[in-house]
Structure 1
Amino acid sequence: MDLQLEGKRALVTGGSKGIGLAVARQLAREGVDLVVAARNKNELDAAAAALAAETGRRVAGIVADTASDDSVKRLVAGAVAALGGLDILVNAAGKPGGQAPPPKLAEITDALFWDDVNVKVMGYVRVAREAAPHMAANGWGRIINISGLAVRSTGSTIGSMRNVAVAALTKNLADELGPQGINVTVVHPGLTRTEKTVPLIAAKAAASGKSEAQVEAAMVSNVTIGRLVDAAEVADIVAFLASPRSVAINGDAIACGGGIRGAIHY
């Protein structure tokens, strides 16, 4: 299926690694010119150069911190200048879940909470706020917010709160921006295989005295497809949502964790 993305212009935050990088790669493969943003300049420059060489598309990297309003304003202005406009925004800048045990109630400090929410919730607001007028001026746009399946389960208090907030933000933006031709959706990955997965599994195996295979099997015991979803598979879903083909989906949440047993979502 032709996603009709050839020549579109995208900004991907958190685009130097993980799901953000996978999304940037898939968009570029579909013919999208893009700006990737991240805080680490060395990682960002390497990612942008690799994507451009691999896909032949125009790819620029802009160092940015979505926790800063001024930084976000410079980012979006720079992206528009580099690309000549903006059609697609993928908000993927945020601390990935599952990298460390979530804090218990007594361990949740104001600083810990606000640092997390300032990046993944308010950071998404900042970038969308700057990007949406450029899309509205063209009468077309797509905003995809990367959230997570902690939105649908307990076990990570801050993770659940921030992801619920991202889902609420998404629906509110969809209602406001939909009449201007801008569709807004949220994607909920579960445990996802990225470049951090191998060392994470190795560390858990060493700490528990189990084999890496046993650790990974335990991680996916509640996943109906029986394995970790790869970041590239999440990116396939995001690429569709970024395309004109996804026009019938607006304000909705798409889970892509391989199917979690038990709960019914409707």
Structure 2
Amino acid sequence: MDLQLTGRRAVVTGGSRGIGYAVGRALAAEGAAVALVARNARHVEEQAARLSSETGARVIGVAADTGDDASVAALAEAAVRGLGGVDILVNNAARTNPGSIPDDDLEAEINVKVRGYLRCVRAFAPAMVERGWGRVINIGGLAARQSGSVTGSIRNVAVAAMTKNLADELGPSGVNVTVVHPGATRTETMLDVAGRRAAASGTSREEAERRMAASVSIGRLVEPEEVASVVAFLASPLSVAINGDAVIAGGGTKGPIYY
């Protein structure tokens, strides 16, 4: 299937590793020019060069902190200058939390994952509206649908609520906004968690992964590339029928029925 992304221009925040990097690769492989965004300038530039070499696409690295207004403004200028404009925004930047998120980190989490997403939308959406086409994909998380971390649930529920509000506002102008909720995904961070759990319980990391995947209906953890494939479709013109709703990319949770 041709996703019709050739010539499109995308910004992926939190793009130097994990799901963000996989999304950048998927978009570049489909012919989009991509700006990977992360706080570590050297690392994101190295990752951009690597991805450009691998895919043949135009890929640039931009250092920015989405938790800061001025940094996001500078990011927007750099991305537009480097790509010639931005048609697709994938909001993925979040604080890396290898374990559970302490409840007293709520303000910091909201600033980066909720306000940060909104900062980026405000920076890029007006030009999308002016051109009459755009896509915004917000990466949330399945903590929006389950308990276990007050902060994790609040930040992801807030991302979903923000997504719906933006979708209703921007949809008539040709800009679709969606939220993707990954579940336990086999990223470097998740493998670190599995390693620590294995050490604590005296088992292998493979056994720790199997236990983490016990509630996943496909029987294993989802790979970052598999989440990225979902995001790439949502970034394409073919996804026009999806706007404002959550898309779950967690391999299926056993038990609950959502309708």
Question: For this structure pair, what is the TM-score category when the shorter chain's length is used for normalisation?
Answer: over 0.9
Match of 1:44 in 2: 44
Match of 1:125 in 2: 118
Match of 1:58 in 2: 58
Q: Secondary structure at the match of 1:185?
A: strand
AA aligned to 2:71 is S
AA aligned to 1:56 is G
Q: Is the 8 A contact 2:184 2:190 kept in 1?
A: no
> Structure 1 CA distance, aligned partners of 2:165 and 2:39?
28
Any runs of at least 4 consecutive aligned residues in structure 1 with deviations exceeding 2 A, and if so which?
195-200
Pick from 167, 173, 182 the counterpart of residue 175 of structure 2: 182
TM-score by length of 1: 0.95
Q: Is the 8 A contact 2:37 2:61 kept in 1?
A: yes
Q: Is the 8 A contact 1:37 1:62 kept in 2?
A: yes
Aligned residues: 259
Instruction: Indicate whether 1:153 and 2:166 are aligned.
Output: no
1:201-252 CA deviation, whole Å, 9 max, x = no partner? 2222111112222211110111000000000000000000000000000001
> Structure 2 CA distance, aligned partners of 1:218 and 1:96?
22
Match of 1:17 in 2: 17
> Structure 2 CA distance, aligned partners of 1:61 and 1:176?
30
Q: Is the 8 A contact 1:102 1:155 kept in 2?
A: no
Residue 196 of structure 1, CA deviation: 3.0
Q: Is the 8 A contact 1:11 1:89 kept in 2?
A: yes
1:83-130 CA deviation, whole Å, 9 max, x = no partner? 111100000001356x21343xxxx32xx1111110000000000001
> Structure 1 CA distance, aligned partners of 2:149 and 2:230?
25
AA aligned to 1:88 is I
Match of 2:236 in 1: 243
> Structure 1 CA distance, aligned partners of 2:95 and 2:70?
21
> Structure 1 CA distance, aligned partners of 2:84 and 2:108?
33
Instruction: Indicate whether 1:29 and 2:22 are aligned.
Output: no
Q: Structure 1 vs Structure 2: percent identity of aligned residues?
A: 57
AA aligned to 1:263 is P
- Structure 2 unaligned runs (5+)? none
Match of 1:164 in 2: 157
Q: Secondary structure at the match of 1:263?
A: coil
Pick from 213, 223, 231 the counterpart of residue 224 of structure 2: 231
> Structure 2 CA distance, aligned partners of 1:165 and 1:255?
16
Q: CA RMSD in A?
A: 1.1
Instruction: Indicate whether 1:140 and 2:155 are aligned.
Output: no
> Structure 2 CA distance, aligned partners of 1:234 and 1:188?
9
Instruction: Indicate whether 1:92 and 2:85 are aligned.
Output: no
1:146-202 CA deviation, whole Å, 9 max, x = no partner? 000000000010000000000000000000000110000000000001133333322
Match of 2:190 in 1: 197
Q: Secondary structure at the match of 1:144?
A: strand
AA aligned to 1:234 is V
Match of 2:255 in 1: 262
Q: Secondary structure at the match of 2:26?
A: helix
Residue 137 of structure 1, CA deviation: 1.4
Instruction: Please identify, of 42-51 and 163-172, the stretch whose mean Cα deviation from structure 2 is larger.
Output: 42-51
